[in-house]
Amino acid sequence: MENKVSLSNLSLSNLSLSNMSLGKMLTLGAWVLVTVIGIFSSGDIFEELDSKEVMVVQYPNGTLIAFKEPGWHLQLLGSVQHYQRRTQFSFSSATDQGSTKDESIKIRFNDGGHAWISGVVSWEMPVKEDDIIRIHKSFGSPLAIEQQLVRTAIESATFTTGPLMSSTQSAAEKRNDLQQFLQDQAKNGPYKTRSVSIKIIDPLSGVEKTVDAAEIVKDDKGAYIRENQSNVAEFAINMLPMTISNIKYEDAIEKQISARQAAIQSVQQAQADALKAEQIAITVEKQGEATAASAKWAQETIKAQKVTEAQQQLEVATLNAKRDLDVAVLAAKQAEQYKLKQVLEGQGDAEKQRLVMAANGALDQKLQAWVEVNKSYATAISEYKGNWVPSYISGGSPGVANGANSLVEMLTVKTAKDLALDLTIEKK
C-alpha cells in the first residue's frame, strides 16, 4: 500500500513580482503566515495513538493508513478513527450493562418455547494493517462493528442453536451445550443441520407431541460440518469465550421448568433420604459389627493375656526344671567326682598300707596288736583276785608254783605265733 501523502503545491508562477506593489506583497505574506499558523494550531497535523488502540487515518487525497504503534503520527488534515484493540460487547436485558435498553437476544427452541439470552463477549481487532483497513472500509466505527458484525454473528448462532434442544433441556442437561454451541457458531460459523422427528412434552399443554428438531451433520471423522464461515472470522475478528449471564423464559416454560426442578429435587431428596437411611442402616450394622468385633477382640485380648501368662509360666517352669536338672546333674557330677576322689584316696591309702606292710611285714600293726593283747592280759591278771594255781601241789616242779608267769608267757607265745611276730633280735 502506498503510504505517502501527496499535497498540492502552491504555484506562484502566475504572480508577477514586477507587477505587484510592496503593499500587496506584504498583505500576501501576512495571509500565508496566518494560514500556516492556523493549520498547525488546528490539531489536524499530528494525532496521538494510545497503546490500547489502533487507528486508521484517511488523508485528503483518499489514502488510508493503519497505525498500531503507540505515539504521535502524521494526520496532515486527514480524518482519524480510533478502535480499541479489545472491547466487550454486551447483549443484556440489564439497563446498567452495555446499552440503557434491553439488548438481549431471542431464541426459539424445538418445542416452540421462547427465551431471551443475556450475556457478554469480548472481541479483538485484527493485527494486520490490511485487515484493519478492510474493517474500517466496511464498517467505519467500533459501534458499527459491534452491531453489524458481532451481534449478527451471535444472532445467527442463536437461530441455529435453538432447534438443537428443547426449552427444558436448555435449562438443565444441555445448558452447557447451549453456551458452547453459541460460542462455537458465532466464532467459526453456523452448523449444517438436518431435520429429525422427536417426541417431547408440550410446555403449554403438558401433552406429549411429535415435533421437528434439528440435528448437527457430521463428517466421517465426527467433526461438525458448517454451512459457511462466520463473518467475524472472515474479517479476522478474534471473538473470546462468551459468558451467558441470564436466560429469561416465557412464563409457561418457567412454570414447567420450576415444576420439573421441584420434581427433580423431590426425587433427589427421596434418593438422598433413601441413601441416608441406607447409610444409617450400614452405619448401625457397622457399629454392631464394630461392637461385636470389639467384644471379640476384648476376649481375644484376655485370651492372649492368659495364653501369654501360661506361656510365661511354662517358660519359667521349663527354665526352673532345666535349672534343677542342671543342678542335679552338677551335684551328681560332684558326687561322682567326690566318690572318685574317695576311691582314689582309699586305693592310694590301701596301696600305701600294702606297700608298707609288704616292706616290714606289717610290723607296726603286729607290734601294736601285741602290745594291746599284752595290755589286756596284764589288766585281766591285775584285776583277778583269785588264785591262778592251786594252793597245794604235790610232786611237782618248784617252778610250776609261779603259774601266773607261766600263763603269761604261754599267752605271749601264742600271740606272737598268731601274729607271726618274731621277737628275736637278729644278730650281726
Which band of pLDDT confidence, cut at 50, 70 and 90, is reported for residue 2? very low
Average pLDDT in the 60-68 region? Answer: 96
Domain boundary assignment for the chain: 17-81, 85-249, 251-360, 361-385+402-428
Q: Beta partners for 53?
A: 84
Distances (CA, A) of 293 to 20, 138, 210, 397: 127, 82, 61, 126
| Residues 85-249, CATH architecture | 2-Layer Sandwich (3.30)
Placement of cell 501527496 in the chain = 6
What stretches of 42-166 show up as alpha helix (H) in DSSP? 129-138, 142-145, 151-161
Average pLDDT in the 243-257 region? Answer: 88
Average pLDDT in the 196-218 region? Answer: 79
pLDDT at 9 over 90: no
pLDDT reported for residue 427? 59
**pLDDT, tens digit (0-9, with 9 covering 90-100), for 367-411:** 777 788 778 877 877 777 766 566 555 555 554 445 666 666 777
63 Cβ contact partners less than 8 Å away, ≥ 6 residues apart: 2, 3, 4, 5
Nearest in space to 120 (alpha carbons), one of 157, 83, 149, 150: 150
Of the chain, the percentage scoring pLDDT greater than 90 comes to: 38
- Average pLDDT along the chain: 81
Which band of pLDDT confidence, cut at 50, 70 and 90, is reported for residue 317? confident
**pLDDT, tens digit (0-9, with 9 covering 90-100), for 66-88:** 999 999 999 999 999 999 999 99
pLDDT reported for residue 35? 63
**pLDDT, tens digit (0-9, with 9 covering 90-100), for 125-179:** 999 999 999 999 999 999 999 999 999 999 999 999 999 998 888 988 899 999 9
pLDDT at 197 over 80: yes
What stretches of 214-250 show up as alpha helix (H) in DSSP? 231-234
Q: Beta partners for 196?
A: 213
pLDDT at 364 over 80: no
Predicted TM-score of the model (pTM): 0.53
DSSP conformation class of 225: P
pLDDT at 182 over 50: yes
